[in-house]
Structure 1
């Protein structure tokens, strides 16, 4: 059982089904190249979710893993994929004040901060399917949201701002994105990226030349046909993905960020990393093996500027029926040990 005390604050005890495999990583495999982003997507789904003692404790715990960056994810919602406007949800969207408090707490813990706004569809449809009835109205509303968070990011001293996440249905617009990116640069003086969904990938985004990094949310299936792949199988599965990352760098001339990468701690998650199947058994060691395979595949690649794992909730056990034992967070699980080992 993994129990840690971080910055004078006790982490939650390891989940009951978990045992730590201390042989997963060797000491010479750290992910410590200078400037590499060792990050997490920091999530919350209540108005005060990024502020308060629990959130501060979560951010201190994140820093203690050896992570260097925290990407805060405020989320707005639109009713359907055809809707023309999005807005904060009074029950689920983190308030601006709570976001600012979270950014300040993260910096106080020694983390670099990133702001990564999301738009979700209230009926649960995947955001990549958003195709508004009126693109002009939708982009005007999106611009308002984006500039709001760009101002917060600038004031907070954020290193990076993410101008969109998995908006596959609208990202191909070559007319509206360039002026939007220019407007963000007027407000935010740090680096910019966009988080492209793994499918259809980076090639479907026409505006990489206007950004500083190519961002990819990497959820490719690794090994299908078995719920318990071996380390060797996982390593082999990464080989074509590394080739694709190299091609993205060579074609765009930009360094890459994996703006999302994650595996639920459930059996078979490497076959479908993009989904949480709550009917599958909890498998914390399988999640740890998936983390290890990713680190071993990506370490030393000069064109990969970093990883932002999905996810690190500011409440370690929030929004899960089983108390978080089978969700994406590694906190209090075997994969947290992998994080520490690869961070030196």
Structure 2
């Protein structure tokens, strides 16, 4: 009888462990001019991250330019195919899983959501150019057996104007790569994406406004999330796909929760408490939800000793008090 009870307890324990799905505790690993080595990955391991997104960039000269340029000698090493391979190999040595996230940069930093062609011929040129770009990296994702492949980032107008193209693109990607696929929708775009049913995650760059206060409290931000949570949950239920924050994070600056997507250089009043409180509220709102897969912190630099710091007002949490908050939450799940 005693052995029978022990067996039942053991079965319940095993079943509960199986039911606990590991969260994606990720960082967005910024490309650099350099190759990386073990010491560059050490800080990622130390913050208890288990995933990194690697981001090879393609470039457009203007928001109406149809020719995408990528994998050239003029790019930084980490933005090229050769660099991606080297980064992933080094990250894998430390058991860091990978999301490969090729994305567009428009010269002068114009928002990719505004990319729009002036003629049908230009749209077709862009489509062919983007297809080649994505399939090249889908092939690389297959070769390197990466866990997640992201087919685009914040391309609202492109998707809205040419929706059928994206369904065809996804079909072509699946012919090559059989891992998990997502798309990184901007926070105000995700509800309009027509192809979530074809993907494995609903990917959101989670720069939702949560507080208008100069130094928002955790309570402010928790309340602010209630303005967005119902719509996120509705989309998750509609498509029956887990939510993945393909990017998330806050700057260490005044009004960090007001317009979290902003990276304006003239916003430079350092506010470490604002970054801490907004980050705590995001973790408390999402990380224990069963339908939430996890996310990728924006952003993490390879040269940890030189990155961030107490006088830095940018997104990176490195060498700031919020780094300990992230380390704690990433250790839990």
- Place the TM-score, normalised by the shorter chain, in its bin: 0.7 to 0.9
**Structure having greater relative contact order (Cα 8 Å, sep ≥ 6):** 1
Partner of 1:15: none
CA contact (8 A) 1:44 1:315 kept: no
1:109 matched to 2:97: no
Shift of 1:60: 2.0
Partner of 1:229: 216
Question: Partners in 1 of 2:276 and 2:144 — Cα distance?
Answer: 33
Partner of 1:69: 51
CA contact (8 A) 2:287 2:294 kept: no
**Superposed CA offset, 1:98-136 (max 9, x none):** 111100111111111110011111132101100123211
Partner of 1:188: 177
Shift in alpha-carbon separation, 1:285–1:212, aligned structure 2, 3 A: same
What secondary structure is seen at the aligned counterpart in 2 of 1:77?
A: strand
Partner of 1:98: 83
Shift in alpha-carbon separation, 1:264–1:69, aligned structure 2, 3 A: same
Shift of 1:45: 4.7
Partner of 2:168: 179
CA contact (8 A) 2:61 2:106 kept: yes
1:119 matched to 2:104: yes
Shift of 1:34: 2.2
CA contact (8 A) 1:223 1:229 kept: yes
Partner of 1:52: 36
Instruction: Return 5+ residue gaps in structure 1 as ranges.
Output: 1-31
- TM, length-normalised to structure 1: 0.83
CA contact (8 A) 1:261 1:308 kept: yes
Higher helix share: 2
Question: Partners in 2 of 1:151 and 1:64 — Cα distance?
Answer: 31
Shift of 1:277: 3.7
Partner of 2:230: 243
Aligned residue pairs: how many?
305
Shift in alpha-carbon separation, 1:97–1:207, aligned structure 2, 3 A: same
Question: Partners in 2 of 1:72 and 1:340 — Cα distance?
Answer: 20
Question: Partners in 2 of 1:253 and 1:179 — Cα distance?
Answer: 22
Shift of 1:252: 1.6
Residue 304 of structure 1, aligned match among 280, 292, 296: 292
Q: Aligned-residue CA RMSD in angstroms?
A: 2.1
Shift of 1:33: 4.9
**Superposed CA offset, 1:284-310 (max 9, x none):** 232122111100011321111111111
Instruction: Return 5+ residue gaps in structure 2 as ranges.
Output: 1-18
Instruction: Give the ranges of 4+ consecutive aligned residues of structure 1 lying more than 6 Å apart after TM superposition.
Output: 317-320
Question: Partners in 2 of 1:44 and 1:228 — Cα distance?
Answer: 31
What secondary structure is seen at the aligned counterpart in 1 of 2:293?
A: strand
1:83 matched to 2:71: no
Question: Partners in 2 of 1:145 and 1:262 — Cα distance?
Answer: 27
Shift of 1:323: 9.8
- TM, length-normalised to structure 2: 0.86
Greater shift, 227-236 or 279-288, is seen at 279-288
Shift of 1:340: 1.4
CA contact (8 A) 1:249 1:303 kept: yes
